[in-house]
Amino acid sequence: MLEILNLHVSTENKPILKGINLKIKPGEIHAIMGPNGSGKSSLSLALMGHPRYSITEGKILLDKEDITWLSPDKRARRGLYLAMQYPTSVPGVSVFNLLRTARKNLINEKIPALTLQNEVKNNMKNLKIEEKFLTRSINEGFSGGEKKKLEILQMATFEPKYAVLDEVDSGLDVDALKTVAQGINKVAGPKIGLLLITHYQRILKYIKPNFVHILVDGKIVRSGGAELAEEIEEKGYVKITHS
């Protein structure tokens, strides 16, 4: 499992996360919800090892191995993946070169280019991504929805053990939201644990979490089942966290 144990994180000497405890088993979908500024994205970046976020206390264990101080590339090789809220453009590097090179380095598997290409094209079909995107530079000129679809295409290609999805629903219209959710559901299964970070309940209408956690001011203040997300939609965060 992916274990987050008493995790405290600071950035620029300012405490952001104040003792997060969470265990995610393969096959489980955990949703983290919370108001703006609660620390949701900071949690995702700290889990992936972003240097701006300093872990001041606690541990991160991946299948019982302590990865707290590993670099992002080593965490990725252990099977951790992050779909970013704001994907970066990389001019001059094609989408297929990214997928092929990263797949080779992450999984250390020799796979013929044509075999991988056919696999990627099948995943693209599921996500309603046109094949011409394979030769385009990463995220350059992509719409918000296209960027988020590419994040899920990478997850499908890299086959991680645990994936952190940071607000993959932000900026999506209804059709793109459904497509991204369907893509996540196709990748999800008994072998992967998902941590889905979101501000709104709308994506949870398509992806059913096993557990929902409310993050406020750097702490998980309440946990429950999928019904907790519906309660948030109805009452809002203030009433839920003060009830």
Tens of pLDDT, residues 143-175:
888 999 999 999 999 999 999 999 998 888 888
Q: 45 falls in which pLDDT band (50, 70, 90)?
A: very high
Q: For position 242, what pLDDT does the model report?
A: 63
In 3D space, the residue among 151, 153, 182, 174 whose CA is nearest the CA of residue 44 turns out to be 151
30 vs 13: CA distance, rounded Å:
29
Q: For position 171, what pLDDT does the model report?
A: 81
Q: For position 63, what pLDDT does the model report?
A: 95
Looking at the DSSP bridge assignments, the partners of residue 126 are none
53 vs 243: CA distance, rounded Å:
32
**Residue 241 pLDDT > 80, yes or no?**
no
pLDDT tens profile 221-236 = 999 998 888 888 888 7
238 vs 243: CA distance, rounded Å:
8
Q: 186 falls in which pLDDT band (50, 70, 90)?
A: confident
Starting at the earlier edge strand, list the strands of the sheet with 14-24.
14-24, 2-11, 54-62, 65-66
pLDDT tens profile 93-140 = 999 999 999 998 887 777 888 888 899 999 999 888 999 999 999 999
Please give the CATH architecture assigned to the domain spanning 24-39+67-241: 3-Layer(aba) Sandwich (3.40)
Q: For position 172, what pLDDT does the model report?
A: 87
Q: For position 147, what pLDDT does the model report?
A: 92
**Residue 44 pLDDT > 90, yes or no?**
yes
Q: Is 44 helix (H, G, I), strand (E, B) or coil?
A: helix
**Residue 55 pLDDT > 80, yes or no?**
yes
In 3D space, the residue among 99, 169, 172 whose CA is nearest the CA of residue 135 turns out to be 99
Domain parsing of the chain, residue ranges: 24-39+67-241
Q: For position 8, what pLDDT does the model report?
A: 97
Residue 123 to residues 43, 130, 134, Cα–Cα distance (Å): 28, 11, 12
In 3D space, the residue among 123, 223, 135 whose CA is nearest the CA of residue 183 turns out to be 123
pLDDT tens profile 58-97 = 999 999 999 999 999 999 999 999 999 889 999 999 999 9
Q: For position 35, what pLDDT does the model report?
A: 86
Average pLDDT over residues 10-36: 94
**Residue 53 pLDDT > 90, yes or no?**
yes
77 vs 5: CA distance, rounded Å:
21
Q: Is 49 helix (H, G, I), strand (E, B) or coil?
A: coil
